[in-house]
Structure formats: structure tokens, C-alpha cells
Chains A and B, each alone.
Chain A
Amino acid sequence: MGSRKLRIVVMLACLAALALLPFVAEKFYVQLFTKMLIMGIFAMSLDLLIGYAGLVSFGHAAYFGVAGYVLALISPQYAAASLWTTLPVAMGVSALLALVIGALVLRTSGIYFIMVTLAFSQMLFYLFHDTKIAGGTDGIYVYVRPAADILGWKPFDLENVAHLYLVVLALFAGVFVLLRTMLGSLFGRVIEGIRINEHRMRSLGYPTFRYKLACFVISGALAGLAGYLAAIQFGFVNPDMLGWHVSGLVMMMVILGGMGTLIGPAVGAMAMMLLELALQSLPEFGGVNFGKHWQLFMGSFIVLVALLLPYGLIGLLRARGQAGGGNGHG
């Protein structure tokens, strides 16, 4: 268990380093990292499904986007809503949604599961896109960020970039620890068993459906947390937040980082966003504007990852250390 202690120390060090960022870096980079951490939470929530339970959800944006919409819809126009009420509500709605959808989609498996999760997220996309529930295609603003006051005491101010960042960082760490704990628990053992061999789990006496559903709901709620934070950061939600491109993007993050490793997807999220920044600023060269066609490179990159990095970046590191790379996908 020495290596485990070491890993914990390393992580705490990283956490401390990240916590210093707002005191050294300028506003934009603090915001950039805030976004990265938010996407990191999103990616970890999906990793719980894909990497640990073996449930390839292609509609995870639904829970992400819905939470954002909930915040936008329940916060008063020009006054701050309370963080302590809106956050639980938003996550609750996402969880509830995951419960309903999960109860239906978990009846299917394999390709069907992938496609049905996609179909449900598209349904929600059109619900917000085609109706006036929340500004239709234009989307809807969150004019004022929620306030964190507790009986007059103001622990932090989300309007403040540094504060928001630190809060997100804390939540990121919290989610990580929570998921680690969960995966080390009896529950974690069961969903892992389900991923490897669900049929056998059933014959051993596990009501696998219930466990998968629980997993789906938890994952949905955490995706909701990420969506809620994203809505706070930019004060703007629109239907594309639930679109299948976002679902694809986060799936990409999970695999790029290395699914079934939890920290991997978080790394993947950051790598993806940095890569995008880099590719978009490609120079014009030999008459061809690479910057304009940056998606060509992004696409090729994704293809290569799928072919060459089944265990993602983390897998790359692990492969150097002990072969295999721990939690591969079964």
C-alpha cells in the first residue's frame, strides 16, 4: 500500500498547486481552469458509467444541460438565488431524470443502449429547442450568480472569479474522493462485477438492474453538478448544452484520459480543451488556412486515440509502470 500513500501525497500536492493558481495567474486562465475542472467533474461522472459499470451512455449531456436549465429557470431575474437551495434542486432534477430514463434504457444493452441514451437526450434537446419553456433556440441567461449566504454570513462570492474557481476546485476534489470511496465500497465491487460479467452476477444473486440504475442516477446527479457550475460560470444556457455533440465531446474526454481510472477522464477533459485552443490557433501555411480547418486535425486525433490509446493517456503512463494498466475496459 506504499504506492497508494504516495499517490495520495502526489494528489494533495497537485491540489495545493491548483489552489494557488488564482493568486498567480490572470483572470482568463483562472476561468479556463474553472471550465476545465467543471468538464473534469462531468467526465468523471461519465467514467463511472462507461469505465466502471460498462454502460456506454451517449446521452450524458442531457443531465448536464438540464441542471443548467433548472438553475436558469428557478433563479429570480435580477436577484441572486441561494446556492444552497438551487444546487440541490438542480442536481435533484438531473438525478430524477436519470432515474426515469435509466429505468427505461437499462432494459436494453450493447448498441441499443448507446442509441437509446442518445435518443432520449435528443428528445430533451428538442423539448428545449422547439418550445418556449426556456427561450427556445436563443437559450436563456442567468443574470446573477447564486449567492452563498448562510443567515447573513457570506463564506464566498461566486461573482468573484477566484472564489468561483476555488469552489469548483473544492467540488472537483470532493467528487473525486466521493467516487473513489464509492468504488471501494461494496457497491463499487458490484458494479465492477456487473461490467465484467453481468450474467454471472445475476446467477450469484445480485439484482443487477437495481445496481445499474443506482449507478446511472448517481452519475446523472454528478453530471448535473457539472452542468449547474457551467451555467454559473457563463451565465448562459442553450439547447446545444444537451445536444449530442456535447455527449460525444465528454465521451471523448473520458477515453482520451483513460476510462475506468477516474482521474484519467479529468486529465482528458483538460487535454481536450488545451488541444482545441492549440489547434484553433494553427497558422495559415502554404495557402491553406489550417486554423480554419482545425476540426480536420481534431477528427484525425480522435481517430488515432481510438486506434492507438485504448487506455488513454493514463494507460500510457501505467503501461510504462506496471504493464496492463489496472482497470481496463472488460
Chain B
Amino acid sequence: MSFETFLIQLLNGVQYGLLLFLVASGLTLVFGIMGVINLAHGSFYMIGAYLAWSLSERLGNLWAAIAVGVVLAVLLGMLLEWLLIKKLYARDHLYQVLLTYGLILVFEELRSVIWGDDVHGVQVPSMLAASIPLTETLSYPVVRLWISVVCLVLAVGMYLLIQRTRIGMMIRAGASNREMIQSLGINIQLLYRIVFALGIALAAFAGMISAPVSSVFPGMGNQVLIICFVVVVIGGIGSVKGAMVAAILIGLVDTFGKVLHVELGGVKLLPELAGMTVYLLMAVVLVWRPVGIFGRRL
């Protein structure tokens, strides 16, 4: 491919990676701080997207929808933590897997009951509707760049939150050592509730801002779920920095996996096996570092 194309693909990869980061960051926080494995994370991405759609239909614009949607997501998160997740902290991961696996089915069916099984589109806000010409044939949609910017802002925001604020201090303490956090006299119940809600909100938010590009359809949650796990595990559980690096890495691997052509002894490897590449990457990383790139020993 030409150098120019290569650069654009690079951009695509990074852009995709940033979006992945946004979804995965919530997952990695909940993982790292609460030690809770939440398979239903993807469902919240889906719920976010559907909220963006149905709310913007009612409220007339996406911004209002997102504002309201985030609040709803936070409330939902707190409710779930209080109702279900709380009961599992002491238990083996196994039960978390099980419970959240059940939640996937529940949310998917509720979605079908409430919103039906149709595909829906969300209007791109007029101020973002434009495209920037890159080559004579290809131009780049502003909304995608906007999404990337939002992701970056959020990443920086999270960094500051975690590094600079008191709650961030608790979060770091929690991530590194659970006993310590109690000894600091922190209300762990409250912290966990906040963190879980934050995680949910991040997933839902990701669904909302990507809704205009990705459109809204059943099963969209499970698509991102597994890939997000890969992001978190590669990056290192609980490490936001790791999630960022891993997400970009996967964004690039996925992008070039689709367009590069690799043969080995007459056997076509890429793009034939593009579906495998990210998992392959994960396997390699974990053989090299069993706790992910930025992970601490658990």
C-alpha cells in the first residue's frame, strides 16, 4: 500500500483503538479496583446506544440525550451494585462470571421487549456532519475525529481523576491493595458503588457517542464485549494506562489484519484469519507477561 494509504490506515487504527479504550476503561476500573468481572459490560454499551437513539428521538437532539442518558446509566449502575454485584465481592470470580452472563440475556431480552429488534439510526449532530477530504476519493468524517477527541479528553480526565483527586487516591489504593484501603478508613462500600457506576457510565457513554456512526442494533453489545476483555487483559487489569496502550495496539492489529496480505508457504494467513489476530496478540502478550503489559502481580 502507498505511504499515504498507510498513514490513513494508521489513523483508522488509532481512531478505532480510542473508541475501544473508552469502552474498556470502565471494565478495567471495575476489574482492577473491585476485582469484579463484568460480562454484562457490553450490554451497557448497547443500552447506551439505544438510550441515545430513543432519547434523542424524544428530546430532539443528541447532546440532551447523552446528558440524560449518562445520568440514567449512573443510576442503573448504582442500583445493580446495590442489588446484585455487592453480594459477590467475597465470592469467587466464577459467580461473577455466572451472574453477569445471566445479565447479558436479561438485558438483551429487555431491549427486545422495550425497543424491539429493529435497526435504528441516530442523526449525526449537524455541527459534526461534515467530512474532511484526505485524498481525491477518500474523505474523513468529522464525527469520527470528534469521537477520538472525546476519548482523548476522557482519557486525560481519568488520568487526572486518578492521579490528582482524593477519590483517585482511594482508587489507586484499592487497585493496589484491598486491605490497605480499609485501613485508610475509607468507606469501601461507597467507593465500590461509585466505581461500578462510573464503569457502567463509561460503557453507556461509549455506546452513546458512537451511536451516530455505528447505528443501533440488537446484539451490538456482545460484539464489543469480548474485544474489550482482550484490551483489558493485554493492558493489565486495573491499569488505565495499559488499557489505552492495548486498545491502540488492538486497533492497529485489527485494522492492518484486515488489509494486509500475508502468505506463508502458499497458505494465505491474512486477511483470511483476520478474526484471529487480536486473540493471537493476546496469547503472545500473556506468554510474555502473564499479567498484561502494565499489570501488577495479583
Complex: A in contact with B (CB within 8 Å): yes
Task: Please determine whether B103 and A293 come into contact, CB atoms closer than 8 angstroms.
Answer: no
Contact residues in A for B233 (Cβ distance below 8 Å): 111-112, 115-116, 119
Task: Please determine whether A299 and B97 come into contact, CB atoms closer than 8 angstroms.
Answer: no
Task: Please determine whether B95 and A310 come into contact, CB atoms closer than 8 angstroms.
Answer: yes
Contact residues in B for A255 (Cβ distance below 8 Å): 94-95, 98
Closest-CB distance, A199 to chain B (whole angstroms): 12
Task: Please determine whether A299 and B92 come into contact, CB atoms closer than 8 angstroms.
Answer: no
The contact of B93 among A111, A129, A296, A300, by CB within 8 Å, is A111
Task: Please determine whether A129 and B275 come into contact, CB atoms closer than 8 angstroms.
Answer: yes
Task: Please determine whether A252 and B94 come into contact, CB atoms closer than 8 angstroms.
Answer: no
Interface 0/1 of B97-122, CB less than 8 Å to A = 11101111111111011000000000
Interface 0/1 of A128-167, CB less than 8 Å to B = 0111000000000000000000000000000000000000
Closest-CB distance, A286 to chain B (whole angstroms): 13
The count of residues in chain B whose C-beta lies closer than 8 Å to any C-beta of chain A is 49
The contact of A296 among B84, B99, B109, B279, by CB within 8 Å, is B109
Task: Please determine whether A131 and B272 come into contact, CB atoms closer than 8 angstroms.
Answer: yes
Please report whether the interface of chain B is mostly helix, strand, loop or mixed according to DSSP: helix
Task: Please determine whether B273 and A107 come into contact, CB atoms closer than 8 angstroms.
Answer: no
Contact residues in A for B97 (Cβ distance below 8 Å): 56, 58, 114, 248, 251
Task: Please determine whether B106 and A303 come into contact, CB atoms closer than 8 angstroms.
Answer: yes
The contact of B102 among A58, A259, A306, by CB within 8 Å, is A306
Task: Please determine whether A116 and B282 come into contact, CB atoms closer than 8 angstroms.
Answer: yes
A288 to B274, alpha carbons, bound, how many Å?
42
Residue of B nearest to A304 (CB): B102
Task: Please determine whether A104 and B283 come into contact, CB atoms closer than 8 angstroms.
Answer: yes
Judge if A187 is at the interface, Cβ distance under 8 Å: no
Judge if A301 is at the interface, Cβ distance under 8 Å: yes
Judge if A274 is at the interface, Cβ distance under 8 Å: no
- In chain A, positions 290-330 with a C-beta closer than 8 Å to chain B are 293, 295-296, 298-303, 305-307, 310, 329
A252 to B272, alpha carbons, bound, how many Å?
33
Contact residues in A for B105 (Cβ distance below 8 Å): 295-296, 298-299, 302
A-B contacts, CB under 8 A, total: 140
Judge if A176 is at the interface, Cβ distance under 8 Å: no
Closest-CB distance, B106 to chain A (whole angstroms): 4
Closest-CB distance, B42 to chain A (whole angstroms): 12
Task: Please determine whether B273 and A114 come into contact, CB atoms closer than 8 angstroms.
Answer: no
A303 to B274, alpha carbons, bound, how many Å?
35
Closest-CB distance, A217 to chain B (whole angstroms): 18
Task: Please determine whether A112 and B286 come into contact, CB atoms closer than 8 angstroms.
Answer: yes
The count of residues in chain A whose C-beta lies closer than 8 Å to any C-beta of chain B is 45
Q: A126-B276, A302-B101 are in contact. Are A293 and B283 (CB under 8 A)?
A: no
Residue of A nearest to B230 (CB): A119
Task: Please determine whether A306 and B98 come into contact, CB atoms closer than 8 angstroms.
Answer: yes
Contact residues in A for B237 (Cβ distance below 8 Å): 111-112
Closest-CB distance, B228 to chain A (whole angstroms): 10
Judge if B164 is at the interface, Cβ distance under 8 Å: no
Judge if A209 is at the interface, Cβ distance under 8 Å: no
Closest-CB distance, B185 to chain A (whole angstroms): 27
Judge if B166 is at the interface, Cβ distance under 8 Å: no
Residue of A nearest to B288 (CB): A107
Residue of A nearest to B232 (CB): A115
Judge if B37 is at the interface, Cβ distance under 8 Å: yes
Task: Please determine whether A126 and B279 come into contact, CB atoms closer than 8 angstroms.
Answer: yes
Task: Please determine whether B229 and A118 come into contact, CB atoms closer than 8 angstroms.
Answer: yes
Closest-CB distance, A261 to chain B (whole angstroms): 15
Chosen A-B contacts, 7 in total, with CB atoms closer than 8 Å, are A50-B94, A122-B226, A130-B275, A248-B101, A251-B98, A252-B101, A302-B102
Given A131-B273, A252-B101, 17 additional A-B pairs, CB 8 A? A104-B286, A110-B93, A111-B298, A112-B237, A115-B233, A116-B282, A119-B233, A122-B226, A123-B279, A123-B280, A130-B275, A295-B108, A295-B109, A296-B105, A296-B113, A301-B102, A307-B87
